[in-house]
Amino acid sequence: MKNELVIVLDFGGQYNQLVARRVRECNVYCEIYSYKTDIEKIKAMNPKGIILTGGPNSCYEAGAPTYTKELFELGIPVLGLCYGAQLMMFVLGGEVKSAPVREYGKTEVLIDKAESKLFAGVPASTICWMSHFDYISRIAPGFEISAHTKDCPVATAENEEKALYAIQFHPEVLHTQDGTKIINNFVKTVCGCTGDWKMDAFVEETIQAIREKVGDGKVLCALSGGVDSSVAAVLIAKAIGSQLTCVFVDHGLLRKDEGDEVEAVFGANGSYNLNFIRVNAQERFYAKLAGVEEPEAKRKIIGEEFIRVFEEEAKKIGAVDFLVQGTIYPDVVESGLGGESAVIKSHHNVGGLPDYVNFKEIIEPLRDLFKDEVRKAGLELGIPEHLVFRQPFPGPGLGIRIVGEVTAEKVRMIQDADAIYREEIATAGLDKEINQYFAALTNMRSVGVMGDERTYDYAVVLRGVNTIDFMTAEAAQIPYEVLGKVMSRIINEVKGVNRVFYDLTSKPPGTIEFE
């Protein structure tokens, strides 16, 4: 149920999705919008609360992202985080300056106002995550300081009467010990949300909405076999049954043997009673990708070719009114459609589509959900756990796990290497501990010695990360013995590979994918 809405206004912060995710953990529905969103649109949405994100700018500089004073006079509770806190003070008559001592990382925050609604249940001293080079040098009229640190006199300022709260630190990141409690206090105590947004209600309402939208129309679903498209397919099937046809495009960029596995689960002998069509288009995609090296160009080529294949299948099927895609909320936001942060990537299901898509409308039943929420929806729909908790896999597949040009030979190399890696991770009992792991093929070739011969072959990179929400991630600490065994097997068993690396990069600054 979406009776209660909290909106996040994005000022370019790297944690914008994380803020929304934390609000949803409180069972309160939350959406992200650009700071450029018109005040009248915000009024029309009638949110219970507004959260302003961090951002890389200085609010006192000309041209910096800002908002009108009217936002703070709507009678709606506002929580400003980092840049959002500074902007609130600046707009309402306070002062923000470059900090004499910059704070970054875990910092002790001392609570000055124990009775603050924001800090209910929070100890007098708590560890929070700071990341700022400006500071609030003077609070706005009507506010009082409710927390500080050794180097930051205004860690939190509040105007309880007007329900305005400015927090210099980041409560949304896991490094802030009581961050979830602080956000929960804001949305529940300050905003008055009851927290009635639950997954069973989402599934039920979505099924009903799909039935009303589709009517007696025919629907074509893009089924990749991944978690997102699988949950979307079953959700649509529950709503409209035989009106749905699922097309599985094997673009030759799947994991080893995955095409056959998808067909076994969703095909004629599967248990979902779907109209299932498999299109073997491997050579077609390889031809389109020949000579293309830039990652974003590869994504768009793969996306456009997907659409072309679906158009062709639609013509064979007959009149098709709707196309279903497994878009999820991070796809929407990272493609620049749900906030202000820089476009990180485009997807074949939200970006890079040509203007002449020959379908009446695209249905994206999961576009409001984060990945862990998609899994919850899958379990609610009765999809087996081994499918629901399958390793994440990008829409463009191995096309973006191969650095540089994609060829059939490179696909074969990375499929074999990745299969070995996944097998050894499972054998070591680590498959449930590491949130995402895969092998990628670099574009680097180097000299090696195998037997009595010199080789000049490719290097494979192993990626493994631990994450809760896929917004931030840290490299998994895989035992050296496991990595050593994987390395030995890949070099011995995969022709064309003579080096293996392990990627230690966190997100940020990197992405989880390797492209």
Half-sphere exposure of 330 (CA within 13 A, CB side): 21
Strands (E), 230-382: 244-250, 275-280, 322-324, 361-363
- Residue 278 forms beta bridges with which residues? 248
For residues 291 and 391, give the distance between their C-alpha atoms in angstroms, rounded to a whole number.
29
Interval 263-288: pLDDT, tens: 888 888 877 777 899 999 999 999 99
- Tell me how far apart the alpha carbons of residues 53 and 87 are, in angstroms, rounded to a whole number: 10
- pLDDT band of residue 395 (cuts 50, 70, 90) is confident
pLDDT digits (tens, 9 = 90+) for 5-34: 999 999 988 788 889 889 998 999 998 999
Which CA distances in Å does 339 have to 8, 11, 436? 9, 8, 26
Convert the pLDDT of each residue in 424-459 to its tens digit: 999 999 998 999 999 999 999 999 887 767 888 999
Residues 6+ apart with CB under 8 A from 122: 111, 178, 181, 182, 185
Cα angle value 491/494/498 (rounded, 5°)? 35
How high is the pLDDT of residue 320? 78
Catalytic entry in 103, 128, 170, 380: 170
Residue 270, pLDDT score: 77
More confident of the two residues 135 and 423: 423
Q: What is the pLDDT of residue 265?
A: 80
Average confidence (pLDDT) over 382-400: 84
Pick the residue with more confidence: 236 or 100? 236
- Is 316 or 84 the better-scoring residue by pLDDT? 84
| Distance between CA atoms of residues 477 and 206, nearest Å | 39
Catalytic residue among 31, 172, 334, 373: 172
As a whole number, the mean pLDDT across the chain is 88
Q: According to the model, what pLDDT value does residue 222 have? A: 82
**What percent of the chain has pLDDT above 90?**
55
Average pLDDT over residues 73-92: 94
Q: Which of 469, 466, 463 is nearest to 374 (CA)?
A: 469
69 Cβ contact list (under 8 Å, min separation 6): 91, 92
pLDDT at residue 336, rounded to an integer: 54
Please tell me which residue in 26, 59, 82, 128 is annotated as part of the active site: 82
- pLDDT, position 167: 95
Q: Under a CB-based contact definition with an 8 Å cutoff, are residues 411 and 441 in contact?
A: no
Length of the chain: 515
Extended strands (E) in 288-353: 322-324
pLDDT at 339 over 90: no
CB 401 within 8 A of CB 380: no
At residue 217, the 3 state secondary structure works out as coil
Could you tell me which of 96, 137, 72, 406 has the C-alpha nearest to residue 254?
A: 406
Cα Rg, the chain, nearest whole Å? 25
Residue 209 confidence (pLDDT) above 70 = yes
Does residue 82 carry a catalytic annotation? yes
Buried b (16+ CB within 10 A) or exposed e, 249-274: bbbbbbbbebbeebbebbbeeeeeeb
Q: What was the pLDDT predicted at 268?
A: 83
Q: Between 226 and 482, name the one with better pLDDT.
A: 482
Active site residue 152: no
Per residue in 454-512, pLDDT (tens digit) is 888 999 999 999 987 677 889 999 999 999 999 999 999 999 999 999 999 999 888 89
Q: Is 175 a catalytic residue?
A: no
Residue 187 has pLDDT above 90, yes or no: yes
Average pLDDT over residues 98-116: 84
State yes or no: pLDDT of 333 exceeds 60.
yes
